[in-house]
Amino acid sequence: MEDVLAVYEMPYDPLYPVVCMDETCKQLIGDVYAGIPCAPGRPARVDHEYVRNGVAEVFLEVEPLAGRRHVAATEHRTSKDWAWWIKSMLDERYPDAIQVRLVMDNLNTHCVASLYQAFPPEEARRLAERLDIHYTPKHGSWLNMAEIELSALSGQCLDRRIPDMKTMQSHIGAWENHRNNRHPTIHWRFSNADARIKLRHLYPKL
């Protein structure tokens, strides 16, 4: 816990950006019957029957101090999916960063070994050396600021029926552009000093 909180207390440095990432899923649901659009004085109406069209896996990263985020939907959530996400993050979104300080939960696919499953050893090592990984503790996913951004995504974009992957990608792409144009940052206030007082029951008794 204190490791993650110490990272959040670091000043902004574009060469060593702090990036938080997380994943979620969204069931793809289509309509059996076409809905009735809204009209003056009448909300839109949707029939209660629906059809399941699978599940979309949603990857999200956010740089809290810069107010930047990126989100994408895939059909799977494997170690190779995570590895390709990391490669695109490092090479496309943070090409000038010396090292990315990455905060995420300790999921079995969130490890350097996943890079070696997806890329040749030389490439996997190159990517691994540009990562400074900080895991949130077990039952401590609330320490990941990406969950704040996922909550915004769920409430502003995913709170509706989305029938297929193409529509999902269109919706989250529009949400990402709108959100990034506004540059909302996240001001984390919970510090190690706070943790030692409010969460002292989690510390060993000396």
What's the CA gap between 144 and 62, in Å, rounded? Answer: 10
Q: Which amino acid is at 68?
A: R
Give the count of domains, the chain: 1
Q: Is residue 191 part of a domain?
A: yes
In this structure, are residues 176 and 135 in contact, taking their beta carbons and an 8 Å threshold? no
Whether 192 is in a domain gets the answer: yes
178 domain residue, yes or no: yes
Spatial separation of the C-alpha atoms in residues 203 and 185, rounded to whole Å: 31
- Report if residue 32 sits inside a domain: yes
Q: What sections of 48-190 are H helices per DSSP?
A: 79-88, 112-118, 121-128, 146-156, 165-182
Q: How far is CA 69 from CA 32, 113, 145, 184, 185, in A?
A: 34, 25, 11, 10, 10
* pLDDT confidence of residue 172: 96
Q: Kindly state whether residue 57 falls inside one of the protein's structural domains.
A: yes
Q: What is the CATH number of the domain that holds 143?
A: 3.30.420.10
Determine the structural domain holding residue 111 and report its residue range: 2-36+47-202
Residue-wise pLDDT for 132-186, tens only, equals 999 999 888 999 999 999 999 999 999 989 999 999 999 999 999 999 999 999 9
The SS3 assignment for 24 reads strand
41 domain-assigned: no
Distance CA 89, CA 68 (A): 12
pTM of the model: 0.89
> pLDDT tens digits, residue range 74-110?
998 899 999 999 999 999 999 999 999 999 999 999 9
Residue 174, SS3? helix
How many Å apart are CA 23 and CA 72, to the nearest integer? 10
